[in-house]
Amino acid sequence: MRAFIAVFVARYKQFVRNRGALFFSFLFPIIFILLFGWAFQNMNTQTFKVGLSDEGSPRTTSYITQGLESVVIQTNLKEFKTQSGNLADLLSALKNGSLDAVIVIPNGMDTLSPGQSGNIQVYYDASLMENQQTLIPAIYQVINAIDQQLGGYTPFISVQQKSVQSHQLRYIDFLLPGVLGMTLMFIGVQGGLPIIQQRQAHIIKRLGSTPLPRSMLVLGDVVFRIIVVLLSAALIILVGRLVFNVRMVGNWLSLCGIVLLGSLVLVNLGYVIAAFVKTQESAMPIVQIVDLPMMILSGTFFPIGSMPAFIEPLVKILPLTYLNDALRQIMVAGTPLYSMTTDIAVLAAWAVVTLAVTIRFFRWD
Amino acid sequence: MPEEIVVEVKDLVKAYGDVKAVKGISFNIAKGEVFGMLGPNGAGKSTTVEIIEGLRRADSGSATVLGINISKDTKTVKERIGVQSQSPALFPDLQVKELINFFRSLYKKSVLTSQIIDLASLQESRDILFRNLSGGQQQRLSVALAFVNDPEIIVLDEPTTGLDPQARRAMWEVIENFRNSGKTVLLTTHYMEEAQRLCDRIAIMDYGKIIALSSPQQLIESNIKENAIQFKMKEYPGDQVLASLPDVTKVIKAGDDIVIYTSNIPTAIAGLLGLASQRSTELSELSVRQATLEDVFLKLTGKRIRD
């Protein structure tokens, strides 16, 4: 135990004194999130999609439809698209993010006489800034205009707001799990470098002449890196939440499980590199050869569907593809683990293969 | 009192692929002695030492340390011996005191951090990162760490390589103090002076074999009865000519240095001076000395140790 703590503490001190490792584990993912998050802030939200549920007032409904469709919000270049349907369908579309708001026009609106008032309901996700600032004021304006056109001085349409938590998928929601996967890859794969360096500098040999068992050396290293991985993941999720209001929808334990499984594969991959590469000088480019294509091809920044077809076979074997997918499913859609058996099976297979290769080919001297 | 054997090596063989590094060597080390292994690079010293340390396994033969067969219970042996490896190989991003504490916690028994700092004479540098120490400081720390577990035997692989003469002498004192406390030292070196000063017995190794094993004095006396005259000559007249000078028994040329051995210094020098003036060639750096281990090594292997 004393030896384990010693290895762990030594590993920790070297880590915090190594700017490169600190940068790639913590700062780099945050820079990525902020940069991409802000740059693509308006992606996917060019158009507000509004569902209209006509409960028996076709005339009012068509007024509101025409009114909304004619609105152009000049400053943000946003516009409205409407669709009609029954309330239940529209509300579920709102919840999964394919609609931004649902307006319910109750029966009897067409035949209101002065003095009477009707009640139009608007469902939307109040937690999204976009809605508070642009969507709702615009809907109010349109309805007020129709109201004034129809009636006299007393408004006979009142608007009732209804809040609904929707899972509208913004780019940042898509990006964040990808950046998390990418960071796990950096921490894992680059972890092969200190091992190669210590072997090359005969440090591992020097330790071999002490009673320290080698298993303790590996354990100290792996446990330390798992803690780095968890800290980095927590930081990424925290920044996403605070800066972009990205919500982790799924189960935290499932997320930890997938993070650990993915880390196991990627840490092993670092050891596989250390098994075949003898010098630090040649290890650097090889780490990049492993890291870069995975980063680009595994759906970190863009959906895999947008890749050219000839790359697809490569995409389909990379472990990061499945890790990113699993992380995304948990964080964005809250998918339970039993519904992502493919991801888990492929990652587990990678873990077994990389472990076997490490055991077979890794040499301490 | 019969001397207690603390290291016993029997018929040790080790090959790396096709290269036979150690070709069947045997020796014993008694408690309290400084045992030296002397030889050029590639002679098999480090391999032998690494087998004794439990870092490598012998292909055949055995090494017994403190009565324990090293291939059977490596861990117990490692607890009780102190080791310094050839290159000062320690975590570059740890401070001196952190490194010492790290090594202390690897052993069941350890001495105080300050003792190791004193041994390495690094009192002013305890908070310095290993990477920022000078080469000599790194080497001193590396050797001092061999003492961290209060060992019964220390194994030092070229402990003074890379040290300046002053630091080398300081290191010799450290080793002598350790020996004077009744403990045992196994060291490898390619410094003749070091071997001659420190070692009670020396095994001279070449091409994986021990070619001579005795005390330094005996090695010299049994191999070379003569004195050595060493010099440089602008035009080398050839072994034959020098060997035919009066009372010269052997001629060895190693690089620019020429050494002739004689039992009669005045006649040999007179002959040499006569030859130089007769050939009008320049004679320089002439010295007359007792034969040293270097001469023994030259005689046994035909080469200088550091070539």
pLDDT tens readout for residues A262-312: 999 999 999 999 999 989 889 989 999 999 989 888 888 877 766 777 888
For residue range A175-199, list pLDDT tens digits in order.
899 999 999 999 999 888 888 999 9
- Interior angle at CA A72, CA A71 and CA A75, nearest 5: 140
Same domain, yes or no, for A19 and A62?
A: no
Question: What is the spatial distance between Cα B185 and Cα B33, in angstroms, rounded to a whole number?
Answer: 6
Question: What are the residue boundaries of the structural domains of chain B, listed by start?
Answer: 5-220, 225-290
Number of neighbours of residue B123 by Cβ within 10 angstroms: 10
What pLDDT, on the 0 to 100 scale, is given for residue B59?
94
CB contact under 8 A, A3 and B106: yes
pLDDT score for B29? 95
Considering the domain architecture, whether residues A175 and A147 belong to the same structural domain is answered as no
How far apart CA A252 and CA A254 sit, in angstroms, is 5
The nearest alpha carbon in chain B to A13 belongs to B94
Q: Could you tell me which chain A residue has the CA closest to the CA of B101? A: A6
Total of domains in chain A: 2
B187, B219 Cβ separation under 8 angstroms: no
Give me the residue from B91, B101, B103 closest to A210, CB to CB: B103
My answer on whether A253 and A301 are in the same domain is: yes
Among residues A114, A144, A163, which one ends one of the domains?
A163
From chain B, pick out residues whose CB is under 8 angstroms from the CB of A280: none
CB–CB contact B90 A203 (8 Å): yes
Given an 8 Å threshold on Cβ–Cβ distance, is A210 in contact with B129? no
Residues of B in contact with A18 (CB under 8 A): 93
Residues of A with CB under 8 A from a CB of B: 2-3, 5-6, 9-10, 13-14, 17-18, 198, 201-203, 205-212
The pairing of beta strand A78-84 with beta strand A72-73: antiparallel
Matching residue, tokens 């938590």: A165
Q: Domain check: are A289 and A253 in the same one? A: yes
Cβ-based contacts of A201 with chain B (< 8 Å): 87, 89, 92
In chain B, what residues touch A9 (CB-CB under 8 Å)?
102
Q: A23 vs A265, which has greater pLDDT?
A: A265
**Under an 8 A CB cutoff, do A209 and B55 touch?**
yes
Note whether B110 and B104 are within 8 A (CB): yes
Q: Please tell me the distance in Å from B131's CA to the nearest CA on chain A.
A: 12
User: What pLDDT sits at residue A114?
Assistant: 64
Highest mean pLDDT among A30-34, A112-116, A154-158, A244-248: A30-34
Report the pLDDT value the prediction gives residue A74, as an integer from 0 to 100.
45
- In chain A, the residue whose alpha carbon lies closest to the alpha carbon of B75 is A211
Q: Tabulate helix, strand, coil % of chain B (nearest 5).
A: 35, 30, 35
CB contact under 8 A, A202 and B85: yes
Put simply, the answer to whether B86 touches A202 (Cβ < 8 Å) is yes
Measured torsion, CA atoms of residues B57, B60, B66, B72, in degrees rounded to the nearest 10: 60
Whether A114 and A192 map to the same domain: the answer is no
Of A17, A18, A209, the CB nearest to B53: A209
Letter string b/e over residues B287-306, b meaning 16 or more CB atoms within 10 A of that residue's CB: eeeebbbbbbbbbebeebbe
Mutation target to probe the A interface, by most A beta carbons within 10 A, among B53, B106, B186 is B106
Of A138, A163, A188, which residue constitutes the final position of a domain? A163
Neighbouring C-beta atoms of residue A149, cutoff 10 Å: 9
Q: Do A211 and B106 touch (CB under 8 A)?
A: yes
Is the alpha carbon torsion for B51, B54, B56, B62 positive or negative? positive
Q: Does residue A154 surpass a pLDDT of 50?
A: no
Residue A46 dihedral angles phi and psi, to the nearest 5°? -65, -35
**Does A152 score more than 60 pLDDT?**
no
Backbone angles phi, psi at A297, to 5 degrees: -90, -15
Quick check: A135 pLDDT over 90?
A: no
Contacts of B187 (CB under 8 A, 6+ apart): B34, B35, B36, B37, B155, B156, B157, B158, B159, B175, B198, B199
Output the pLDDT for position A76.
Answer: 46
**Residuewise pLDDT in 10s, chain B (307 residues):** 467 899 999 999 999 988 999 999 999 999 999 999 998 888 899 899 999 999 899 999 999 999 999 989 999 999 999 998 877 889 999 999 999 999 999 999 999 999 999 999 899 999 999 999 998 899 889 999 999 999 999 999 988 887 888 888 888 988 998 999 889 999 998 888 889 899 999 999 999 999 999 999 899 888 888 888 999 988 888 888 888 888 888 888 877 888 888 988 899 999 999 988 888 888 888 989 888 888 888 888 877 665 4
Taking CA–CA distances from A208, the nearest residue in chain B reads: B55
CATH number of B5-220: 3.40.50.300
B78 in contact with chain A, both atoms CB, cutoff 8 A: yes
Among A118, A141, A163, the domain boundary falls at: A163
Q: In the 8-state DSSP scheme, what is residue A111?
A: T
Instruction: For residue A194, give the chain B residue with the closest CA.
Output: B91
Question: Can you give the pTM of this predicted structure?
Answer: 0.74
The pLDDT assigned to B307 comes to 47
Map tokens 């002013």 to a residue.
Answer: B124
Structure tokens at A23: 């940068």
Whether A174 and A159 share a structural domain: no
- Residue A110, CB half-sphere, CA atoms under 13 Å: how many? 11
Task: Choose between A131 and A224: higher pLDDT.
Answer: A224
Task: For residues A213 and B225, give the distance between their C-alpha atoms in angstroms, rounded to a whole number.
Answer: 51
pLDDT tens for each residue of A350-365: 999 999 999 899 888 7
Mutate to test the interface with B, among A8, A12, A206, A212 (most CBs of B within 10 A): A206
Contact B189, B195 (CB under 8 A): yes
Same domain for A174 and A159? no
Check whether residue A81 and residue A193 sit in a common domain: no
Looking at the fold, whether A189 and A111 belong to one and the same domain comes out as no
Q: Using the beta-carbon criterion (under 8 Å), do A13 and B89 form an inter-chain contact? A: no
Give the separation between CA A217 and CA A220, rounded to whole angstroms: 5
Is the predicted ipTM greater than 0.85, yes or no?
no
pLDDT at residue B211 in the model: 92
List, in sequence order, the alpha helices (H) in A156-279. 171-189, 192-200, 203-208, 214-244, 252-276
Q: Which domain holds residue A35?
A: 2-40+170-361
> Which residues, other chains included, contact A302 with Cβ-Cβ below 8 Å and sequence gap of 6+?
none
> Architecture of B225-290 per CATH?
2-Layer Sandwich (3.30)
pLDDT the model gives residue A168: 53
Q: B83 and A209: CB-CB below 8 Å?
A: yes
pLDDT in tens, A36-86: 888 877 655 456 788 888 888 888 888 888 777 776 554 444 567 788 888
Indicate if A124 and A177 belong to the same structural domain.
no
In this structure, what CATH number is given to the domain that contains residue A70? 3.40.1710.10
Check if B98 contacts A (Cβ < 8 Å).
yes
A184 and A324, same domain (yes or no):
yes
Q: Is B86 within 8 Å of A212 when comparing Cβ atoms?
A: no
A20 and A123 housed in the same domain: no
